[in-house]
Structure 1
Amino acid sequence: MNKLDSLRAAITQALPELQKSPENLRLWIARGSGRCQATATDAFGFEYEANVLIVEMGSDFAVLAHAIFRWLRVNQPDLVVPPKEGFTFDVDPLDNGMADVLLQIRLTQNVTVASKAGGGYDMSYLAEPDPLFGEDLGFGGVMPVPPFAGVDIDG
């Protein structure tokens, strides 16, 4: 399940203290399940809760949240569309201005399966679909309504 590797990289890049102490970042999977659509292919998928524990985090929680949401836009775009919940979290403040932070993120990972000519199978993880909107566009690729700038009463 390759999403955990890219999630680890995104968090490590965002928080300077993890670059110095990578052992303070722990990821694991809980409550996972497999699913299959009973179609003509052997494709299947996983759904699981990714748990992210950061021990003695000194950075602002908003920095971590920003990194997670940027990662979700590419790797799990359905979680950044209202009314979906992007992630849940627990924070344990410590005496030294740091905190232990636990995030729970519900992820999916789809796998394609192709038979090899000599027997066996080739499996690959599917990329997520493109997000519904880019950084500068609104819903469905439509330009958003510009912000209200004022009213000219004399004109």
Structure 2
Amino acid sequence: MRKATELRAYITEANPYLRRDPEKLHVFIDAGAVAAVATASLSHEYAYTLNLVIEDFAGDPGSIMVPILAWLRVHQPDVLENPEKRKQAIAFEVEIITNDTFDLSIKLQLTERIIARLDPAGERIDITHAQEPSHPDLFPDPSAPARSVCRDGEEIGILPYPGWAIER
């Protein structure tokens, strides 16, 4: 699942704790399903719950959530644009480990559209991941540097280059 891999890399780059210890981030795909229709095309869509688990975290949850929201704006914009999807798109659970640390589980509802096309010679089926609809008016200048995520003036993370608009 491409989005799981991309989000893992993005979150790891965005958060200082995960940059130092990337093995503290675990990624699971739960409740996956394939939607396809009985047509000549073999195109389909994966729908699944992506579960991000961060162990022994002592940081501000905003240093994780803000980059996730920025990533979703580019890679799964429908979950932020649709009021019904928005209600269930992001869920989280916390297990308090000590006075200073906790395990954080964030569950995201994601989809990936796969386009399957017969090549012109009719010899093979080529599959590609469909791009999400682009909303350039929502994003700052893509040549801008990474942006800091701050709480009370202190940097707690970054939105990796180029800020909101993540290149694929």
Deviations 1:81-132 (A, max 9, x none): 2521341000112215121000110100000112233623211101111248
2: CA distance between counterparts of 1:59 and 1:10? Answer: 17
Q: Is 1:105 aligned to residue 108 of structure 2?
A: yes
Residue 95 of structure 1 is matched in structure 2 by 98
Residue 61 of structure 2 is matched in structure 1 by 61
Aligned residue runs from structure 1 range 4-153, under 5 A: 4-83=4-83, 84-85=86-87, 86-116=89-119, 117=121, 119-131=123-135, 134-135=138-139
2: CA distance between counterparts of 1:6 and 1:39? Answer: 30
TM-score under structure 2 length normalisation: 0.74
2: CA distance between counterparts of 1:9 and 1:53? Answer: 14
Structure 2: segments with no counterpart, 5+ residues: 141-168
Higher strand share: 2
Structure 1: segments with no counterpart, 5+ residues: 137-155
By relative contact order (CA 8 Å, sep 6+), the higher-ranking structure is: 2
Please tell me the root mean square deviation across aligned C-alpha atoms, in Å: 1.9
1:118/1:37 CA distance change after superposition, 3 Å: closer
Percent identical residues: 31
* Structure whose alpha-carbon radius of gyration is higher: 1
TM-score under structure 1 length normalisation: 0.80
Residues 34 and 45, structure 1, Cα contact 8 Å, conserved in 2 = yes
